[in-house]
Chain A
């Protein structure tokens, strides 16, 4: 089933590669992936939608939490969360169906962002299945071109972010001695 994972990660070169590499190394195909900075410019929030059989889910979240650049990986698939996607589409429409298209767009809460004699450019946000329906309907009116943003999600419950405190180098050498390392 489609799993939605939310990652809070350090905004560092290579961090994205570590996450995608972890998925490809396990043969998972990414359905969508979005990433952008957070309120703290040093951190990014990533939402990944990926097709995974249920027994692999916990393992994947654990592996992601092991990545040093990842501060927190959360499985939003079952928890209380909101997932939205945005779609931009161009619909080529003949004169006689223009009104019908506008009606359909209204039903889905889509906005017209551009209108020409050839047709419309539409913008819509919603959950993934809703946008699938909108796209299916618009296809019946003629040629369309679609760009989807990929899922973005937010958890509805506050999850405590546990960060490791700085380690003093002197502590490091002491603890190594304790462990019997010469």
Chain B
């Protein structure tokens, strides 16, 4: 029994059927009919203060739950403002659906007020996008959008809806099947390849699990833990994979890459088998590709066939969903073991000893000072409070690297950061999305003083919705990572990296109606953090840290990952 409904209502009906409970958005001219229908709909609309942050908040929601996040913007500037958030979601494979309004079909192509070619502009910013000009297409398109966003390798999908579609009426028939003949999702993994992979894993002398964002996205963390424990292999988690294996797990080595730990990078370089799970051999992980893991054969499991052998040739590729493939790998390992009997593996024991030695040689450990707060000290304090359980969002830069190195994440979806695109201004709005999805969870938004100032308008959103996000500004007065590079590679010619005139936090937060303060003394840090957490509501804690601290270890651009700079280079004494 179908019913005559407006396009706006049909859209909301479809969103309801997809289980959407919150939309992050910003209204405008052509989305008026949609907002009018929203007026009496149970779906909650969160009014952000800039459309870019609507996309980031939807990501925070999606990253912290695994559900599809939804954002909404009007035509023209509303849609163009979403673009950074879409590309960011594309790079990190985050499932979001963006809804944008478009001028009426008759006006398209006339340079109408607030007209932009959203469909064209977002083509390369999305996994797929749609322009809906006929109301009859709307229900199928919305369900396709959610299906595409969440399935296979997830990603952002944009649906651009013309004003006349919102306003038109049609008989609504629920859509019960999705037909996308050209959309291939590979889930199972090749049985023969899985068998061979299991064999390789048992034969390797120096195996290493290299786990990435795919573990988190694919909800395969328990399966990862199972195979790591079954084989008793060491494992590194990439920036996107942190929490995929609990940081406290004895087999967890830490993060590899440009600012990865000595042990993780040495293990990558020394391994004879890399078990690469849901990773894309990103340049920030591999360093100079030709010198990356030179002794290792590669088993590469990924849901996206285009990732196989993209950067590094896979000796044994398996295309499939990790959640399905990993248990099959475990079963095969057990089968082979039961056929051959438990073998003593002295080589693996030696490998473990080597890794423990590397860990002991240069551990990732915080630095403390009595006169100033070291950024690493700040992260250690947050880690002490979190105990691997709090949600932590960051922007990009030094604070992000220290937060990745020094804070533990004992579950997936706690660590939320802009990895691939590296967008400043991501931390605060993504914390808003994460806090909406997890109202009872402690959410830290750790940001630099640069990125924080890119997300200032969202302080109003925090207050508006009473979100108790704890904003921790790691304030070094610089665009720290750029300054670090200017210091190390451009003769310390510091150009446009000094951030003077930081707003006074107490007044800034106070202007919005919540609390803020600055802390400068190491002795006061613990108390200041305690106060922030105990405060009932959002809190802005501005932490003045050592201005010129650099992130180490560091692999210089173009270097091999075992050629790390481990700490400040001492000036060579002049004879």
In the complex, how many angstroms separate the beta carbon of A67 from the nearest chain B beta carbon?
7
Whether A59 pairs with B180 at a CB distance below 8 angstroms is no
- Complex Cα–Cα for A175 and B119 (A): 30
0/1 string, B222-239, CB within 8 A of A gives 1: 000000000000000000
In the complex, how many angstroms separate the beta carbon of B138 from the nearest chain A beta carbon?
15
Determine whether A17 belongs to the interface, using a CB cutoff of 8 Å to chain B: yes
Known contacts A179-B218, A179-B219: A169-B306 contact under CB 8 Å: no
Give which listed residue, A59, A68, A169, contacts B176 with CB less than 8 A.
A169
Give which listed residue, A67, A169, A173, contacts B175 with CB less than 8 A.
A169
* 9 A-B pairs with C-beta separation under 8 A: A14-B131, A62-B308, A65-B305, A67-B182, A166-B179, A169-B17, A169-B178, A179-B218, A180-B219
Determine whether A151 belongs to the interface, using a CB cutoff of 8 Å to chain B: no
- Complex Cα–Cα for A21 and B124 (A): 7
0/1 string, A59-74, CB within 8 A of B gives 1: 1001101111111100
In the complex, how many angstroms separate the beta carbon of A1 from the nearest chain B beta carbon?
20
- Interface residue ranges of A149-182 to B (CB < 8 Å): 162-164, 166-170, 172-173, 176, 179-182
- Complex Cα–Cα for A68 and B176 (A): 20
Whether B120 pairs with A179 at a CB distance below 8 angstroms is no
- Complex Cα–Cα for A163 and B182 (A): 6
Give which listed residue, B176, B182, B183, B308, contacts A168 with CB less than 8 A.
B176
- Complex Cα–Cα for A3 and B218 (A): 35
Whether A69 pairs with B150 at a CB distance below 8 angstroms is no
Report chain A residues within 8 Å CB of B306.
59, 62-63, 65-66
Whether A182 pairs with B66 at a CB distance below 8 angstroms is yes
- Interface residue ranges of A21-47 to B (CB < 8 Å): 21, 25
- Complex Cα–Cα for A167 and B176 (A): 8
Determine whether A9 belongs to the interface, using a CB cutoff of 8 Å to chain B: yes
- Complex Cα–Cα for A129 and B189 (A): 43
- Complex Cα–Cα for A58 and B177 (A): 33
- Band of interface residues on A: 35 or more
How many residues on the B side are at the interface (Cβ–Cβ under 8 A)? 37
Report chain B residues within 8 Å CB of A182.
65-67
Closest to B321 in A: A179
Determine whether B551 belongs to the interface, using a CB cutoff of 8 Å to chain A: no
Determine whether A51 belongs to the interface, using a CB cutoff of 8 Å to chain B: no
Determine whether A18 belongs to the interface, using a CB cutoff of 8 Å to chain B: yes
Whether A172 pairs with B148 at a CB distance below 8 angstroms is no
Whether A17 pairs with B120 at a CB distance below 8 angstroms is yes
- B interface residues, Cβ below 8 angstroms from A: 17, 19, 65-67, 119-120, 123-124, 128-129, 131, 143, 147-148, 150-151, 175-185, 218-219, 304-306, 308-310, 323
Whether B123 pairs with A17 at a CB distance below 8 angstroms is yes
Give which listed residue, A25, A59, A71, contacts B310 with CB less than 8 A.
A59
Whether A162 pairs with B124 at a CB distance below 8 angstroms is no
0/1 string, A3-16, CB within 8 A of B gives 1: 00000011001100
Whether A164 pairs with B183 at a CB distance below 8 angstroms is yes
In the complex, how many angstroms separate the beta carbon of B247 from the nearest chain A beta carbon?
20
Closest to A20 in B: B123
Most chain B beta carbons < 10 A, residue from A71, A72, A167, A173 = A167
Whether A170 pairs with B183 at a CB distance below 8 angstroms is no
Give which listed residue, B19, B119, B180, contacts A68 with CB less than 8 A.
B180
In the complex, how many angstroms separate the beta carbon of B321 from the nearest chain A beta carbon?
8
Whether A167 pairs with B177 at a CB distance below 8 angstroms is yes
Whether A68 pairs with B128 at a CB distance below 8 angstroms is yes
Whether A162 pairs with B184 at a CB distance below 8 angstroms is yes
Closest to B129 in A: A14
4 smallest CB-CB distances across A and B, nearest first, come from A62-B306, A163-B181, A166-B179, A180-B219
Report chain A residues within 8 Å CB of B124.
21, 25
Whether A167 pairs with B219 at a CB distance below 8 angstroms is no
Report chain B residues within 8 Å CB of A180.
66, 219
Known contacts A10-B182, A164-B180, A180-B219: A18-B66 contact under CB 8 Å: no
Whether A9 pairs with B182 at a CB distance below 8 angstroms is yes
Report chain A residues within 8 Å CB of B323.
179
Report chain B residues within 8 Å CB of A179.
66, 218-219, 323
